[in-house]
Amino acid sequence: MKFGKEFVSQMVPEWREAYMDYNSLKLIIKDIVRFRKKYASSTPMATTPAGSVLKRRVALYRAFSGLTSRQRGSLRKMEDEEILVAEEGEEGQWQTRFLMPSEDGGEFEVVFFRSLDDEFNKVNCFYKKKVGEVVEEAEELSRQMDGLIALRLKVDNPKVDIGGGSELASNGISSVSAVHPSGRKTGGEDMDVIQEVEMSNEGEILEENEETGIEGLETADRKPNRGTVNIKGFKPQPLEVLDHIKINVVPETPVSTIKSIFQPKTKPDLSFSKKELKKVEEQMTQAFSEFYKKLRLLKSYCFLNQLAFSKIMKKYDKFSSRPASKAYLNMVDNSYLGSSDEVTRLMERVETTFIKHFANGNRRKGMKTLRPKTKREKHRNTFFLGLLFGGSISLTVAIIVLMHARNILRSAGHDLYMENIFPLYSLFGFIVLHLIMFSGNIFFWRRYRVNYPFIFGFNQGSEIGYRQLFLVSSGLAILALAGTISNLDMELDPKTKSYVAVKELVPLGLVIVVLLIMVCPFNIIYRSSRYFLLLCIFRCLLAPLYKVTLPDFFLADQLTSQVQAFRSLEFYICYYGWGDFKKRSHNCLDSHVFKSFYFIVAMIPYWMRSLQCVRRLIEEKDRMQGLNALKYFSTIVAVAMRTSFDLKAGMTWKILAIISSVVATVFGTYWDIVIDWGLLQRNSKNPWLREKLLVSNHNVYFVAMGLNVLLRLAWMQSVLGIRGAPFVHKTALIAIVACLEIIRRGIWNFFRLENEHLNNVGKYRAFKSVPLPFNYDRDHTKSG
């Protein structure tokens, strides 16, 4: 792989604009080469091959220093010197002066070095800014660790007064070594082991600091051109620190949300309970993991950019035949980007601290948490994916052949089957189609480097890939298609007509199997992803009692496209609860309870989403969330009018359904394209699109906008009088329209997350915001 592609593949997606623009600099070098070739070919002296002209011309006009010259100082330096690099300005901007601009093609080289300086100053400033941020965060983590260690001591020794911390310290007992990370006292043997590990780790750090001229663990003195890290060490403080902190660990529950409405928001005092300590340790573990991830990405950013500058200068030397790379790379090495080692030292300190305080001195365990292994693709996933996908295709073909061979579409029981059994199996079709569309979304997100694991908040290595999701959808399709073909076979085969109850219970059995798999506690079938989905569903159902995060409202948007699936679940309850499934008959539409829930079930997803918008409006004070809530409310009205028309008919209901549907369609389409996708910007450099696009072919966006409008109009058939077609049953038409809505949602998913990703890129947000457990008093922080 060429360096340019490898460079792009290893970038932090959210920091892409902050990296050196390797490709643009390479294009300038190509312009230099192109000019020289053109000039050399038009010069009469160019009697040598084109490949050697460039290398020979530069040397022909250089000053000759003599054959016997022994001067190795200024004369040789002046002869070989091509550029002069110096730091200028108050902000320390580096500027390169090209010393031979009068040569042929020199203006291109001046442009090259000017662009190179701009890129370097951009990278250097960004790196310095980010290092400053992590140093500040390290200081905050130090204060949080002081509170955690004091809390551990207090929880382990409840009878000890707050002022007794100094007595423990004076006895020479390490407060950390005497307390297990879980909050319990350690025995004598455990204490000795922990003390030994701590002393060995601290000893290694002290020896390293002495070798590099660093005094103590709290300050780091650098060489003249290097930055300085001046953060407090993670030493345990006296227990007086507990007088100046309050707990930030407030459980996000519906009860706490209701209490916050009637009570003013105040930081609760510490209760010194083991449950509280455990929650604090979990938050600190997560904070250290995210902080270490930041340090790793910063280190990678520094290394990649230094490598890019080295590569581009070697390429310049090669094609210009000028030895300029040495001088420029010396400047890079002496700059903040090349000489500062704050990140490396912080990484070492964080590793030592985390292993000592959160892994009981077990380095392997601690590093496993700090550096989770990258998820590897397994060959067996690909094998089973091909097997199940091929099997689902085979079963689909078998069903089509069976229906054609036995003329099922024209049989006497065709209408009865479509009204009773087809809605039961269509539920699985909606789910499988949605999973296939989402697996396609993941594939294209990865292709265009959309950082979906970070946006959704997945833990590193736990996110599900497109292969795994497509494998799940293929497996579910196999179950549904096998149930369908067995149901048809038992229906038509005289030998199996006696198993009436069995054939009618097949769909119900499949639903039970799917539900059992979803709540299965064993670590199979992607348990972490299943539980993440269940947690998001739970939070959506209890909206607005939970704080709304992106996975929550993104899932709620998915559920708004599965209205027909919810109605299928309602039909399951009616068909198997109150209907006579053995005779394949039901009177659901005659039940007022069923009709009432037919309204309610269709409105639930939109109602959840509107409540989420109301919660965000109250918390974030964002007026756009209020408009978004109105959009979903208009959709609720439209769904209610359409459902009333479906159940009651009549010209009045039809007019109301058409008006409300048109309003909801226009409102929803505008919101999709302009707000969620960020398109239709008149003043953009990409006409009617946005400034930044991930897909190079702009026609894709216009096609997506057109499809969004057409697919949103698809469900209007229910209010325009299109009740069916000669070759399509009414129930099948409803299923087709529902599938079109799922396809529209799949298209919406890609561009919605692309827009979210680009917003994160614009703000350089590449990390999760982890709440810290303690809140220090301002006066104490200032005095400290």
* pLDDT tens digits along 122-148: 999 999 999 999 999 999 999 889 888
Three-state SS for 417-456 is HHHHCHHHHHHHHHHHHHHHHHHHHHHHHHHCCCCHHHHH
Using a 10 angstrom Cβ sphere, with 0-12 exposed, 13-18 middle and 19 or more buried, the burial of residue 177 is buried
Q: Residue 195: which of 361, 369, 414, 353 has the closest Cα? A: 361
What contacts 550, CB < 8 A, 6 or more positions away? 455, 456, 457, 756
Residue 781's SS3 state is helix
Check whether 270 has a pLDDT greater than 70. no
Paired residues of 315 in beta bridges? none
What single-letter DSSP state applies at residue 410? G
**Overall residue count recorded for the chain in this entry:** 784
Residue 350's SS3 state is helix
Residue 728's SS3 state is strand
Q: How far is CA 742 from CA 88, 264, 598, 707, in A?
A: 58, 43, 20, 12
Residue located via tokens 């022994």: 70
Alpha helices in 228-273 (DSSP H): 254-262
Across the chain, mean pLDDT equals 79
Lowest mean pLDDT among 235-239, 503-507, 512-516, 751-755: 235-239
Cβ atoms < 10 Å from Cβ of 273: 12
Q: Residue 305: which of 83, 21, 110, 5 has the closest Cα? A: 21
* Main-chain phi, psi angles of 84, to 5 degrees: -130, 120
Q: Is the pTM of this model over 0.85?
A: no
Q: Residue 395: which of 407, 403, 384 has the closest Cα? A: 403
Q: How far apart are the first and last CA of the chain?
A: 52
Q: Give me the pLDDT at residue 652, please.
A: 86
Question: Each residue of 193-236: pLDDT tens digit?
Answer: 333 334 344 444 434 444 433 333 333 333 344 444 444 444 44
For residues 37-64, average pLDDT: 51
Q: Give me the pLDDT at residue 16, please.
A: 87
For residues 476-493, average pLDDT: 82
**Angle in degrees, 0-180, between the axes of helices 592-620 and 563-577, rounded to the nearest 10:** 140
CA distance 266 to 258: 14
Check: CB of residue 430 under 8 Å from CB of residue 422. Answer: no
Q: Residue 766: which of 11, 124, 4, 139 has the closest Cα? A: 11
Check: CB of residue 672 under 8 Å from CB of residue 629. Answer: no
CA distance 624 to 498: 60
Q: Give me the pLDDT at residue 560, please.
A: 94
Check: CB of residue 41 under 8 Å from CB of residue 49. Answer: no
For residues 646-661, average pLDDT: 84
Half-sphere exposure of 668 (CA within 13 A, CB side): 26
CA distance 414 to 407: 10
CA distance 587 to 568: 15
Q: Give me the pLDDT at residue 187, please.
A: 37
Check: CB of residue 629 under 8 Å from CB of residue 655. Answer: no
Question: Each residue of 449-469: pLDDT tens digit?
Answer: 898 988 898 877 778 899 999
**Rg of the Cα trace of the chain?**
34
Lowest mean pLDDT among 483-497, 609-623, 629-643: 483-497
Check whether 547 has a pLDDT greater than 50. yes
> What's the token pair of residue 769?
């915001």
Check: CB of residue 179 under 8 Å from CB of residue 342. Answer: no
